[in-house]
Each structure stands twice: as C-alpha cells, then as structure tokens.
Amino acid sequence: MNTIPSLRRAAAVATTAILAVAGLAVPSAASARPAADTSSAPAGITRQAASALVERLGADRTGGAWLDRSGRMVVAVTDAAAEQAVVGAGGIAQRVTRSTAELNAINATLGQQIAMPGVAFGVDSINNKLFIDADTTVSTEDYQRLVELAASHDGAVTVRRMRGELKPFIQGGRFITPNRGSEIGSCSVGFNVRKKDNPNSLYMITAGHCTVGASGVSDWYDGIGQYVGYDAGGNFPGNDFGLIKHNNASLSKPGNVWISEGVVRDVTHSRDAGLGETVCHSGWKTGYRCGEVLARNTTANYREGRVTGLDYTSFCAAGGDSGGSVFHGDAALGLVSGGIPEDCRTYVQPLNEALAWYDVEVY
C-alpha cells in the first residue's frame, strides 16, 4: 500500500465491515464473440447513430448494438428489412435469432426465479443469449437447479460454474480508511467530484458497500494516517455507490485518475460504457488494468443483497479495488463493485447513476 500525495489518484476508501459475497453469474469466460457480418456494409457508424437505429427499429426487431474487435459498431437485427435499414444507414448488421424484447423478458423471469446468493445473471447481447454463473459457494444441488432452469428456456440461457467466490472488493485505489493506520476493510476511491450547485463543495465517490459497511464510522484517513474527510452517504444493496466529503484543505484534490507513480489520466466528463468497449480501472490492490465490457445491466446476488444494473467486464481486480475508477480515455464510466478474481471477471457500478443520485459531477 502506497501513500497518496494528492487525492487526484484513484484513492482507496475503507470500511469496517468485510462483506462476504457469493458468486455472480457472468457470461462465460470461454464464450467466443461472434464475428460481425461485414459482407453487406463497408465501415461502421457511431455509437450514437447505432443507438438511434436501435430505438427507431424497436426492441422487437433488434438484439442490441456493440463495438466489434476492430472498433466498429455492430447492430443486431432479427429480420431482412431491419438489416437493410442498418446497411442503408452505413452500418454493419448481424442477423440474430432472439430480439432484445425476448432476451429482456427472459431476464425478468430469471430475476423472479433466482434468489440464491452466489449467483449472477444477465443478457449477453453479443452472443444473443443470457447467462447464469454460480460461484463455489453454490451447492451441487442448487447448481443442478440452475441447469434445469436454463434448460427450460430452450437454449437461450447458458450456465457456468465459476472457479472462485464472488466478493465485493474491499480495500482500494490509493487508499484511505476509517481504521487509521490499518489496511483492514479499505476500498478504492473512484473519482473526485463536486456539487453541481456549489463547485467548491468537493467529495470522493466510491463503492456503496464501503461506506455502508463502515457502519458508525464518520472519519476517513489516507495511507499515511492523514485525515481526509467524513462519510456523506451510501447506497447498497440495490445499487453500489457511496460518498465521502473532502474536509482537509491541505490536500490537493485534482480531477484525474492515478495510473502509476508520476502518471495520471485526466478526466473531463462522464458517460455510460458501451457494450464491447475497452475500459480500464485503477485500484491500489491490482493497479492499472484494462478489459472489455462483456454485458450491461447485469444482476448480482451478493450475500448482503441484490445489486442490479451492473456492467460486467473482463479486467482483473481483487480485494482492495472496490470503488476504484473505471474509465476510457478522459471519460469516467464507473466504480468497481466486486467480482471473482480467479476468473478475472469484475462487476462495475455505472457512474452516471451515482452522480445523478448525489447531484455531483466529475471535474
């Protein structure tokens, strides 16, 4: 654990409670991304144009949109007329069997059928399926129930046994803790933020299970024992974001992300991550890592409760990275929530939802 000369870094925030969580379902690590059908279209279109096409064609005729490995947007469609509409707009169309409406309906059914901890599930638009993943805490009997449940959906759902136990990643970025002088229960700070109606009012945003887990704790410290600020709220379970108020004038609080000693990444705005997009994270435990967004709007049944609306990514993270920054270029995207380190799969709380909740913004 290193100290932080400024909170411009992806700092760490601590909690007094270590949350043990059961495994989530994620799209299979071995699932291959289908190749885009490029025979009928030249280059791609922008993410905004793809979103507009999907909205115009509707959820019954489309199956999602994502970046392929060459960086082009692909729009999944279910019929020839929709395919021609995408190609006519200059886009790349891929024919699929199941529409977004069908996938979302199955996902809603799974939400009613799956309550056990250690399991996660969601829509894998790139493979035109849904996934259910179970961690090592799920019993053999319960795993078989999941297999039977998936079979009842006529090949639309895959089930996979993960190699480890899914946990929220307590500890963190470039760290601070309520346990002064201790790493116990620490987490990563995601981003420095400011109140929209008062730009001089500065905060740190991090994972909600960090601030909520530190029940009764109000003061937070950095890695060398300096006072940083105090708890200003948390939302977990349901969501996974929390806020800490900056309250030490002697600490600089620039709005960038720490990458490594002497290297930072400036952040200028926030947005949602795109399916298939390459994203990176910074945390004090594993440092700077990158991967892909494999699925969005996934559900994680933590032992402490269900969290919905998470992005599912392929970058590696571990205990100590919770709350850490997730970003692409100068865009702030999310906060590390948890994952299964053995499978190098990490769940991310989208940042814009958290910013809107607290009426704050990155700077």
Identify which of 108, 228, 131, 209 has the alpha carbon closest to the alpha carbon of residue 167.
209
Burial 120-132 (b: 16+ CB within 10 A, else e): bbbbbbbbbbbbb
Active site residue 139: no
Question: What stretches of the chain show up as alpha helix (H) in DSSP?
Answer: 47-57, 80-88, 100-113, 140-151, 208-213, 351-358
Catalytic, out of 99, 135, 209, 270: 209
Given CA atoms 190, 300, 19, 164 in this order, what sign does their dihedral have?
Answer: negative
Identify which of 67, 126, 75 has the alpha carbon closest to the alpha carbon of residue 278.
67
Determine the 3-state secondary structure of 231 from DSSP. strand
- Cα distances from 174 to residues 14, 87, 256, in angstroms, run 11, 47, 13
Catalytic, out of 28, 270, 314, 322: 322
- Cα distances from 43 to residues 39, 52, 252, in angstroms, run 11, 17, 45
Catalytic, out of 68, 222, 231, 240: 240
Give me the residues paired with residue 294 across strands.
none
Cα 258 to Cα 329: distance, rounded to the nearest angstrom: 13
Active site residue 201: no
On whether the CB atoms of residues 270 and 351 are closer than 8 A, the answer is yes
Give me the residues paired with residue 298 across strands.
310
Given CA atoms 121, 300, 337, 246 in this order, what sign does their dihedral have?
Answer: positive
Active site residue 209: yes
Looking at residue 217, its amino acid is: V
On whether the CB atoms of residues 10 and 189 are closer than 8 A, the answer is yes
Determine the 3-state secondary structure of 112 from DSSP. helix
Q: Which residues are catalytic?
A: 209, 240, 322
